[in-house]
Amino acid sequence: MPPLPSPEDPISFYRVTGAGFVPNVVNGYLAARLADPGQGTLAALRFTLPSFPNTYNQPGTAFTGCEDVRYMGLCVHDAVSTLTSECLCDAELHLTPGSHDIVKIVVGPEDSSVQAAALALEYHYLSWKNLNEPLLI
């Protein structure tokens, strides 16, 4: 995979293949570099949840082609080692009532007080744990 640009504010996602990161290279992914965890930063995202078939709760559900994506998930990877710290799959991405399909996510350190603050504001929380160069895919 070609190197991604430096982290940005606001966070920018780039379309990449899975080559070098995941075994399924025929799929397309969106990836964003996150700021250096050692600088005490957090990444906060809000986005409209794309439509996808409910294959988690209904495994026989067919992909009709009317959905935005086949599968929706977010994982925090390390840009160098390709280790993964945490993921949220499509069935775990809960919407806040009245949010108009907006998903809110914070990515940050393994810190229970930061996680509690994010959850109190109805954000999902993903930790980058010990990753040196977090990459959100």
pLDDT digits (tens, 9 = 90+) for 59-112: 888 888 898 888 888 999 988 887 889 999 887 887 777 777 889 999 999 999
Domain that holds residue 55: 14-136
Cβ-based burial of 49 (10 A; exposed 0-12, middle 13-18, buried ≥19): middle
- Stretch (H or E) spanning 135: strand 134-136
* Domain annotation covers residue 78: yes
The pLDDT mean for the chain works out to: 83
* Domain annotation covers residue 7: no
* Domain annotation covers residue 4: no
* Domain annotation covers residue 70: yes
* Domain annotation covers residue 9: no
**87 touches 75 (CB < 8 A):** yes
- Give CA–CA dist 8/28, Å, rounded: 21
- Report how many domains make up the chain: 1
Find, among 134, 117, 124, the residue nearest to 90 by Cα: 124
- Give CA–CA dist 42/124, Å, rounded: 13
